[in-house]
Structure 1
Amino acid sequence: MYPWVSCLARKEYNEAQFRQLPCHDRTLLRARSPPVVHPDALTVFCPTLSPSESSAALVNEIFVLSKDQVAALKRACAGGGVGRVSTFCALSAHVWRCLCVARRLPPDATTRLTFTANVRRSLRPPLPDRYFGNGIIMVGTAGKVGEIRSEELASVAGRISGTVRRVDDEVVRSVIDYVEMVGRPVMHAGSMPETELMVVSWLGMPMYEAGFRWGKPRAMQLAAQ
């Protein structure tokens, strides 16, 4: 959407770009009748997070990784025999391990990494390219803190990659049906237990293509809460 709006400001467009109207058909993501939740889906989908009693203030920080550092992390993952690993999986695995160490979590505690998965291409048939709106679900993987800290980075990344690969049409439909029956889970900022890590990836979003005739953005981040 950002490049589409910015091209209007730059007056760099043609009529063909605007002939395809956005798709607002929400029935494409409606629950089945009757709703059915496949048992295996609940091992991927993360419907609930236990609230924490911690009242610590939220702090926003930006950590910049160079291309060389990202490449090094991906090489470390690829060397573990799990095949090609995405940037998201490599970085998430590294942050997850660092969190377990930095928070000094007990080795026998269960830690969980949750993240949003884009399901536009997981559905059968997939959502149209013109579909306007979110098409995401929350999925995750878990393990003992001692395992996450001691395993090779490639192994931790493999856990995440495995979850990504399991997101198929049945999982997505089961999640939609689960929400229909139980309701949408609510997470309040700052209420996650220390063993939980939630990651939201903006990789691939064209935010840096949004030039409004005064140059492309230099940085993009969440507004301070």
Structure 2
Amino acid sequence: MISECYVKPLHELSLEAKQPIYFTPFELVFLNGNYSQKGLLFAKPTPPENQDFSISTFLDDLRRSLSATLDHFYPLAARLATRKQENPPCYVIYIDPENCQGVKFVHGTLDATVADIVTSKDVHILVHSFFDLNNAINHDGHTLPLLSIQVTELADGIFIGGSVNHMLADGTSFWHFMATWSEIFRSKAISRPPIFKKWVLDGSDPIINLPYTHEEQFIKRSEHAHVRERFFHFSSALVAKLKARANAECNTNKISSLQAVAAFIWRCVTRVRRQPNKSETICRLVSNNRSRVNPPMTDNYVGNPVQLVSTTTTVEDLMAHGLGWAALKLNEAVKNHDYSEVKKWVESWLKNLFVYKLSGLFNPNLVHFGSSPRFDMYGCEFELGKAVAARSGSVNKADEKMTMYPGREGGGSMDVEVFLLPEYMMDLEHDEDFISALESN
């Protein structure tokens, strides 16, 4: 670590911007969640294309453009606050923009190369050191930064990694922030102003009073077993082939590329786990509710309006039927997750408030897909050219977790970061269906 500082918005906040921002039910349930960690690996500019590149100048430009970006994304520079009383019990958690302590900005160096990172069979353990706040949970945002940026200089590369409080931002919001920062770095313009006015269910109070008097009543930190981490690349041709196969098997055209790839991985992972035939297997996707609420929100809405959507069957049925059958079950689960389902869940939660314990969200028969290949990660260039690779940090990783990324070459290609216990990963690497498909890339 070379240095760290805190970056604040370039200009003083308006009176309106200093007002508290209250969380929605989608966000409050994740008080125990870890920060989200994503970042981009770039090749360092080299002569003769860029004779004048200076890391110190680049860092100064990053800090200045980050400050200008925080004029728009000012809640990321704030801290959480809690208003509470014991009689009657009142516990309200919110973002306090007036407590503008800034975004943490860390500069570090590492004696490694880009090739060390991208050619490693498993995700290189050094990648975990590219991120800050590795042990933080969302509730820690009362005292810790809501966003920390770490810039790590490699021998021939630069990694820009962000650790963001997951109650403030889902993947849609994080990559919106990164795109805006890159845009301002390049031209000082902004094409998509963020929206922080929170969605509220008609007839409900925007200020939610949790039934607690102390954080010990709901805070539960979780630990996960050691897993292996690998990236598997699905070319645009392979994605198209899996999508066409899934749709043809069901005589339909409604199965998406993501659903086809997720179903393929679900079947392969379930097979290598060797669960009993009569046991349940679950496939779960993270659903973006922006387009599902009424009125719908745009992708400029900043927050974490997501829910978990799943489908369940027996191992026997999943293995007996084809790819299309599994993909269609995912398609139906997503289709059925409409506004009436979202509204029903919110109304139920408001009658019986609770906070998820992460250990309760996972089980050994689950395959969980997070993030999205639709995020424009590689559009964030910071005048370094297209990133060489995208990577994630050490948190939010468990035996059942899969993280989706767009492929660097675009065209509908995908990269899937797979986390499995070592024995399952070894079997997946030798699974005939899985390997033969990837070899056809």
Q: Which TM-score tier does this pair reach, normalised by the shorter chain?
A: 0.7 to 0.9
Tell me, yes or no, if the aligned pair for 1:123 and 1:172 is still in contact at 8 Å: yes
1:96-107 mapped onto 2 (5 Å cutoff) = 96-107=266-277
Segments of 5+ residues of structure 1 without an aligned counterpart are 35-53
Which residue does the alignment assign to 1:85?
255
1:196 aligns with 2:372: no
Bigger radius of gyration: 2
1:51-70 mapped onto 2 (5 Å cutoff) = 56-70=225-239
Which residue does the alignment assign to 2:354?
183
Aligned with 2:323 (options 142, 147, 153): 153
Structure with greater strand share of residues: 2
Amino acid at match of 2:243: K
Secondary structure of 1:82's counterpart equals coil
Secondary structure of 2:311's counterpart equals strand
Q: Distance in 2 between matches of 1:101 and 1:200?
A: 21
1:24 aligns with 2:196: yes
RMSD: 2.4
Segments of 5+ residues of structure 2 without an aligned counterpart are 1-175, 206-222, 396-441
Amino acid at match of 1:157: A
Amino acid at match of 2:366: E
Q: Distance in 1 between matches of 2:387 and 2:322?
A: 37
Which residue does the alignment assign to 1:218?
388
TM-score (norm 2): 0.42
1:143 CA drift (Å): 0.3
Q: Distance in 2 between matches of 1:215 and 1:201?
A: 23
Secondary structure of 1:107's counterpart equals coil
Measured against aligned partners, the alpha-carbon deviations of 1:2-43 in whole angstroms (never above 9, x if no partner) come to 2211011112636xx37x4x32222x2458559xxxxxxxxx
Measured against aligned partners, the alpha-carbon deviations of 1:189-219 in whole angstroms (never above 9, x if no partner) come to 9x83321111113221121110100112121
Amino acid at match of 1:142: T
Which residue does the alignment assign to 1:8?
184
1:130 CA drift (Å): 3.2
Q: Distance in 1 between matches of 2:386 and 2:231?
A: 20
Cα distance change, pair 183–31 in 1 and its aligned pair in 2 (3 A): farther
Which residue does the alignment assign to 1:76?
245
Cα distance change, pair 29–72 in 1 and its aligned pair in 2 (3 A): same
Report the identity percentage. 22
1:124 CA drift (Å): 1.3
TM-score (norm 1): 0.80
Amino acid at match of 1:23: I
Count of aligned positions: 200
1:106-121 mapped onto 2 (5 Å cutoff) = 106-121=276-291
Aligned with 2:376 (options 180, 196, 206): 206
- Compare relative contact order (CA 8 Å, sep 6+) and give the higher one, 1 or 2: 1
